[in-house]
Structure 1
Amino acid sequence: MKTRKYILLGAVIVTLGLGVTSCTDYLDVQRYFKEQQTEDHIFEDKDYTLQWLSYCYSALQGDNLEIGHSEVCPTNFSDDMVFNEGGNGERYRKFKLGEYGYGYAYSDHYISSWAKSYEGIRQSSILINNVDKNLDLTPAEITDVKGQARFVRAYLYWLLMRKYGPVPIMPEEGADYTESYDNLSFPRNTYDECAEYIAKEMLQAANELVEKRDNVNIARATKGAALAVRAKAYLFAASPLANGNKEMADFMDKTGRVLISQTYDETKWAKAAAAARDVIELAESRNLYRLYTASFRDQTTDEAYPNTITPPEHSVYSHQNFPNGWQDIDPFESYRSVFNGELYAAENPELIFTRGKNASSNSEVKDLGVTDLAKHQLPNTAGGWNVHGVTMKQCDAYAMADGKPFDRATCRKEFTSDANKDDHPYDHLRNGVFFEYANREPRFYASVAFSGSVWYCLSARENVDKYKQIFYYRGHDDGRVNGNERWIPTGIGVMKFIHPEDCNNNEGKVIDKIDTAIRYADILLMYAEALNELTGTYQIASWDGSTTYTIRRDVVEMRRGVKPVRMRAGVPDYDEEEVYNDPVSFRKHLKHERQIEFFAENQRFWDLRRWKDAPVDEAEQIYGCNTLMNEAHALQFYTPVRVPYLQTAFSRKQYFWPITYDELKRNKNMTQAPGWEDYD
């Protein structure tokens, strides 16, 4: 059924950062939509139809980015990372205290995704319901266009569900926008209904989508991407926040229907495990995805691309090639290259779904994606904003090179020097670095910009500082400055996403970064996590019905998920008796693994909520280095201190984002999330 006879796109059209075959010139509103056009005219034309599809994808930009500037992606900052822009940390503090509902300052940064998502859902539904009219597209092309639009629609619901919890599922034929506002009032569906709808739609999309895209269309949906989002939706529905959570018994619609499951159901974990396994089996059988690894390197003298540091000797892993060991790979470069722009999207076998270069030159979107994130992490002396910091909690979470936990109490209180070079063989540290940063696991050096790190700035013009060691002591160019927000309040910077070429001054450039929205490491760890929660055995058909999985808590299968991630990182796999055979211990280690592996990838914020760990982890005091200390008091700089104006708290309302006053006023059937003002 048609929702309207005429359609007018009354919005600025933007596209994904990577070009698409159907949209090389993008959608020119002035050229294509100067006047209202009938649905038949639009969808019978191939160019118009494909332009419409590009418009659907544009809903995944801006306020729906998943890794980017704190304005559009504040959830990238949890208990692991802080930002200082916006009134010397004032915006960060308000966000962490939950002051982003109606009437709070900065609220406009956190409310736009609702309208943007539902507009994208509406446009996707229109396309799905009309693309069959097109006579220029082949049947296979029509099926693929439907699958892409279906993916975008379900992905937008996935983003909404993470932020707002249970949300209204709109009629698939589209709402009749000629009706009165009262007749367009839709109540929330339950959390389980939302998860099942996303899973159902992604399953259908997987049947409609192709397995691979060419380089030009790499930011478009594929079969694997649809199955991956299906697995994530099931995992969230199985997690404690949505599975038997009696704390949310008062989260209801206006008929009194409880929207969060009050009864724990273990089968949800089994479904999540089977869905993750679908992606793993597809990846292995079709050679679609794998963890990216860089080869062992021992023939370079360039500090920016150093020779491989072999991890500490291990009787098993040191003498086997990846994925059974790390003998043939460079763990540091393997991890670093996934994020810093070294790889084009098409070169990275780990990417399951990406927005490509998730930014646009369009003034409505601005450059707020991963590349912009990197600019905010660069030091002042490299032309950056120098405002993103790592919490001491996150810094300490990284293991030692041998995989053992970092222990601050036993850490040597001295600095690297010529005299102690042999005491830190598992790093490339220069002199003058505090020993707590020595001999750490490779992911630490790819992620953390501690005081004394080297910033290479290779793209800068000649005769300027390159290979520069940056310290965050007060009085240094990148240290604390009173009355200025361009300094790192924890005294620990962020190195993740930074390429050796990156420099934002001296005629340098910041290498384009690729959005890592869903990568294969996530699916592997999700699979292990879901299996760990099972006590029974379940027979579940694969996504295409070609086989039936036996799903149970199987250590061999759990290791299948965890071991490759640990091997790529150059750290030993978990002990079978102490970790794998103990569900409580494994859960603890798995959560820690996710904290490290997905740092700064907008995962931690949501993980802490779905696990219901946020009341503890998100409410802890934030500690960092003592940034008041200058180099003359260098030892005191590393004394942990509470960062007073970056403190945080957690209340129940912060599990979900609030519905805006305008939406509650318009939609008489909408209810507010618990803890937020309802405005009735």
Structure 2
Amino acid sequence: MKLLKYIVALYLVCQAAACKDYLDVTPDNVATLDYAFRNRNETENYLFTCYSTLQNMADVVANPAFTTSGEIYFPNTLTEATLGGRGNEVGFHLIRGTQTTDQPALNYWDGENLGQPLFKAIRRCNILLENIDKPADLTPAEKNRWIAETKFLKAYYHFYLLRMYGPIPLIKENLPINATTEEVRVHRSSMDESFDYIVSLLDEAIPALPAKIQNPTQELGRITKTIALAVKAEVLVTRASPLFNGNPDYSGITGKDGKILFPANYDETKWNDALAACDSAIRACDALGLHLYKFIAPGNLPSLPTALKQVMDLRTTITEKWELNSEIIWALNPTFGYQHMSMPRLTSEMVQNMGGAPGNFAVPLSMAELFYTDHGLPMNEDKTYDFRNRYELTEVPESEKYLLHAGYQTVKMHLGREPRFYADLSFDGSNFFGNGVTNPEAMLYVQARGSNSIAGPKDNIRVNVTGYWPSKLVNYLSVFGTEVTGENFRLPIIRLAGLYLLYAEALNEVGGPTAEVMKYVDLVRERAGIPGLANAYNQYASNPGKINSKEGMREVIHRERRLELCFEGGIGWDLRRWKSMQQVLSNPIQGWSIQETDPSGYYRARTLAIPVFGLKDYLWPIKNDALIINPNLVQNPYW
């Protein structure tokens, strides 16, 4: 009878959250809730069930920030599915205007169309919190930690929904069996109520979480105090940012109960809260000895030239094992599964073995142009850089032989760029340290002309349609050839460089471009191998005063985040909270003319798609069926 009451109660909650598969509410692999919490071991299993949805979110093809940011373009003309099925492509195609209210892609509200069932995950968290007192053999320390972990997960699931949908119903507890119809038909809470609740959960969780994982072999991936503090910083920076802080586009939007859902006026004090949270997170990282990572070459590698060592410092920041990486604050346990999609064409064996490296993740030309010059400035703001003639052909000089293949014909814009350009991208004529060849004097290099292949044109499932690969996402120890030997890694969710830039952003919004702002930006730039802001702008910039205003520094910090964190699955959230996505996607998606074999024909920009992104696309639509099930819900603006 007790189980029946829980099933009915959870059914009502599921209705309120507008879930379709409402019968799928019984806890996994248990006969009764009493059995699920009868002892410590069973309760721990249930805790890991609360974690399971989080781990499932590691698949980047279902990550809205990875697929819709314009950083990576996936073609819709392939004759075969190369992501494991056509359904796995839907997120990438949203920039073509394919989103609908009938069947939303990446639907995290209902857990459909690649989306995870986040309301179901929240209900699981509530069940654990309601039953945590039952196991008699659970120690007080374990109990407090598990409660804290569960509250963090509950906060994070709410935050994920909030970033996608704006105001959401807050599932603070599961509804009782005697809930009225009106109680079941919940309303959307306001943005401020939603943020307040998420922050309160994090504040309740933080004191009882461990500062670090003491036994990585058994517990890596479980939540720590440092992770929770860093997430709190992101939550409060998101709250203070233009999308949700007095956004005039959402002025006057109300729920069915008449409640104003979005804050009407900009509140600059929200940046003070964000700044304090960033400061706390950084101090926690400092206490653990976290620092920006630099490549420690194993003994079997030769001494690397300075230019190549700089590239490897940056590449391995992402691909080094979490437990060995001094910079990663948080990652998920599943490893990144798309190295083969990010790998450039290097050998004929690689081309012949389609399963080894299709290489279909294509970086638009606009992203390649976003990277700085070697002076640490945008190409069009560096007075020493020939921006107007960047597409002219030239020959790679011997002085750049560790970055590009000496004597190879390429365009001027591939020369004299910052180390992140060469660390993050592969393209025609670029060297690749790895894939089984680690001799700096004889590296493999990309020969991309003619359908991106060193062996001439091939069928269109083996092409990269722009001519740029996000090889930042490839471990240098992975080998793609006749056989594939992949060296796995976990893609970071939060790393120290990102937290430094978040702190600099909050500092600038509160007090303008102070020395402290430049300190934290320059920490990231130093590791990236480019001059600090003052040196770069005073010596080489056509507009040296840019960094002296809050607006100018804001633009610099935003670009720095886009470069430092590109392809890692988070910039899409930044572009939304800044209200910059519409501007970024206002330009055509372009690439080189990849079918051409002659460089003069290859290096001609061609348009692949015209992105479709309007005001409505900043927030995800709620599925029409959900609005019918719960008439107290309102659709998101402009849908």
The alignment's TM-score, normalised by the length of structure 1, stands at: 0.79
Which amino acid letter does the alignment assign opposite residue 50 of structure 2? C
Deviation at 1:73, TM superposition (A): 4.8
Aligned to 1:18: none
> How far, CA to CA, are the matches of 1:200 and 1:496 in structure 2?
37
> How far, CA to CA, are the matches of 1:146 and 1:262 in structure 2?
35
> How far, CA to CA, are the matches of 1:149 and 1:194 in structure 2?
18
Structure 2: segments with no counterpart, 5+ residues: 11-26, 80-85, 380-385, 538-543
Which amino acid letter does the alignment assign opposite residue 309 of structure 1? A
Which amino acid letter does the alignment assign opposite residue 502 of structure 1? S
> How far, CA to CA, are the matches of 1:282 and 1:619 in structure 2?
40
- 1:568 is aligned, of 506, 519, 527, to 527
Aligned to 1:364: none
> How far, CA to CA, are the matches of 1:528 and 1:3 in structure 2?
51
> How far, CA to CA, are the matches of 1:247 and 1:293 in structure 2?
43
Which amino acid letter does the alignment assign opposite residue 460 of structure 2? N
Pick closer, same or farther for the CA change 1:179–1:634 going to 2, 3 Å: same
Aligned to 1:319: none
Residue-by-residue CA offset, 1:522-572 (whole Å, 9 max, x unaligned): 2111111112122xxxxxxxxxxxxxxxxx446132123212111110111
Q: Tell me if 1:666 matches 2:635.
A: no
Q: Secondary structure at the match of 1:269?
A: helix
Q: What number of residue pairs does the alignment pair up?
A: 584
Pick closer, same or farther for the CA change 1:70–1:396 going to 2, 3 Å: same
Pick closer, same or farther for the CA change 1:115–1:176 going to 2, 3 Å: farther
Deviation at 1:231, TM superposition (A): 1.0
Residue-by-residue CA offset, 1:483-537 (whole Å, 9 max, x unaligned): 6343112121121121222234423212112120111112111111112122xxx
Aligned to 2:370: 397
Aligned to 1:388: 361
> How far, CA to CA, are the matches of 1:121 and 1:595 in structure 2?
31
Aligned to 1:97: 96
Q: Tell me if 1:521 matches 2:491.
A: no
Aligned residues with identical type, % of pairs: 26
Q: Tell me if 1:607 matches 2:574.
A: yes
Residue-by-residue CA offset, 1:47-72 (whole Å, 9 max, x unaligned): 1111111111111133x33xx44255
Q: Secondary structure at the match of 1:527?
A: helix
* Paired residues of 2:424 and 2:471 also in contact (CA < 8 A): yes
Deviation at 1:119, TM superposition (A): 1.1
Aligned to 2:617: 654
* Paired residues of 1:170 and 1:186 also in contact (CA < 8 A): no
Which amino acid letter does the alignment assign opposite residue 471 of structure 1? Q
> How far, CA to CA, are the matches of 2:369 and 2:30 in structure 1?
59
Which amino acid letter does the alignment assign opposite residue 611 of structure 1? W
> How far, CA to CA, are the matches of 1:281 and 1:620 in structure 2?
40
Deviation at 1:288, TM superposition (A): 4.3
> How far, CA to CA, are the matches of 2:155 and 2:615 in structure 1?
27
Alignment of 1:104-115 (within 5 A): 112=111
Q: Secondary structure at the match of 1:664?
A: helix
* Paired residues of 2:426 and 2:471 also in contact (CA < 8 A): yes
* Paired residues of 1:5 and 1:38 also in contact (CA < 8 A): no
Deviation at 1:91, TM superposition (A): 4.8
* Paired residues of 2:91 and 2:105 also in contact (CA < 8 A): no
Aligned to 2:21: none
Alignment of 1:172-571 (within 5 A): 173-176=173-176, 183-213=183-213, 214-216=215-217, 217-284=219-286, 286-294=287-295, 306-309=304-307, 330-340=309-319, 343-358=320-335, 370-375=336-341, 377-379=343-345, 381=351, 383-406=356-379, 407-411=386-390, 413-417=392-396, 420-422=397-399, 424=400, 427=403, 429-434=405-410, 435-455=412-432, 458=435, 468-474=444-450, 477=453, 484-534=460-510, 552-553=511-512, 555-571=514-530
CA RMSD of aligned residues (A): 3.2
Deviation at 1:667, TM superposition (A): 1.7
The alignment's TM-score, normalised by the length of structure 2, stands at: 0.83
* Paired residues of 2:67 and 2:92 also in contact (CA < 8 A): no
Q: Secondary structure at the match of 2:50?
A: helix
Deviation at 1:7, TM superposition (A): 7.2
Deviation at 1:299, TM superposition (A): 10
Deviation at 1:449, TM superposition (A): 1.0
Range with greater deviation from structure 2 (90-99 or 613-622): 90-99
Q: Secondary structure at the match of 1:212?
A: coil
- 2:603 is aligned, of 638, 645, 652, to 638
* Paired residues of 1:332 and 1:442 also in contact (CA < 8 A): yes
Aligned to 2:69: 78
Residue-by-residue CA offset, 1:69-89 (whole Å, 9 max, x unaligned): 425556444232211267579
Pick closer, same or farther for the CA change 1:663–1:72 going to 2, 3 Å: same
Residue-by-residue CA offset, 1:555-596 (whole Å, 9 max, x unaligned): 132123212111110111112873443111101111110110
Aligned to 1:15: none
Pick closer, same or farther for the CA change 1:584–1:191 going to 2, 3 Å: same
Aligned to 1:325: none
Residue-by-residue CA offset, 1:125-183 (whole Å, 9 max, x unaligned): 11122213322222111111111111111111111111111111112x32236857764
Q: Secondary structure at the match of 2:305?
A: coil
Alignment of 1:2-13 (within 5 A): none
Q: Secondary structure at the match of 1:488?
A: coil
Range with greater deviation from structure 2 (274-283 or 191-200): 191-200
Q: Secondary structure at the match of 2:472?
A: coil
Range with greater deviation from structure 2 (193-202 or 589-598): 193-202
Deviation at 1:33, TM superposition (A): 6.6
> How far, CA to CA, are the matches of 1:530 and 1:105 in structure 2?
34
Deviation at 1:265, TM superposition (A): 0.5
Q: Secondary structure at the match of 1:517?
A: strand
> How far, CA to CA, are the matches of 1:123 and 1:529 in structure 2?
36
Pick closer, same or farther for the CA change 1:211–1:480 going to 2, 3 Å: farther
Pick closer, same or farther for the CA change 1:204–1:108 going to 2, 3 Å: closer
Q: Secondary structure at the match of 2:329?
A: strand
> How far, CA to CA, are the matches of 1:175 and 1:200 in structure 2?
21
Q: Secondary structure at the match of 1:352?
A: strand
> How far, CA to CA, are the matches of 1:558 and 1:3 in structure 2?
56
* Paired residues of 2:206 and 2:225 also in contact (CA < 8 A): yes
Deviation at 1:300, TM superposition (A): 8.6
> How far, CA to CA, are the matches of 1:659 and 1:81 in structure 2?
25
Deviation at 1:36, TM superposition (A): 2.0
Residue-by-residue CA offset, 1:107-132 (whole Å, 9 max, x unaligned): 77996266611111111111122213
Aligned to 1:140: 141
Pick closer, same or farther for the CA change 1:106–1:607 going to 2, 3 Å: closer
> How far, CA to CA, are the matches of 1:225 and 1:487 in structure 2?
39
Q: Secondary structure at the match of 2:61?
A: coil
Which amino acid letter does the alignment assign opposite residue 211 of structure 2? E
> How far, CA to CA, are the matches of 1:273 and 1:376 in structure 2?
36
Deviation at 1:266, TM superposition (A): 0.4
* Paired residues of 1:451 and 1:470 also in contact (CA < 8 A): yes
Structure 1: segments with no counterpart, 5+ residues: 11-31, 311-329, 359-369, 461-465, 535-551
Range with greater deviation from structure 2 (474-483 or 232-241): 474-483
Pick closer, same or farther for the CA change 1:69–1:607 going to 2, 3 Å: closer
Which amino acid letter does the alignment assign opposite residue 125 of structure 1? N
Deviation at 1:219, TM superposition (A): 0.6
Q: Secondary structure at the match of 2:362?
A: strand
> How far, CA to CA, are the matches of 1:433 and 1:220 in structure 2?
49
Residue-by-residue CA offset, 1:29-59 (whole Å, 9 max, x unaligned): xxx97652243x4324111111111111111
Which amino acid letter does the alignment assign opposite residue 331 of structure 1? Q
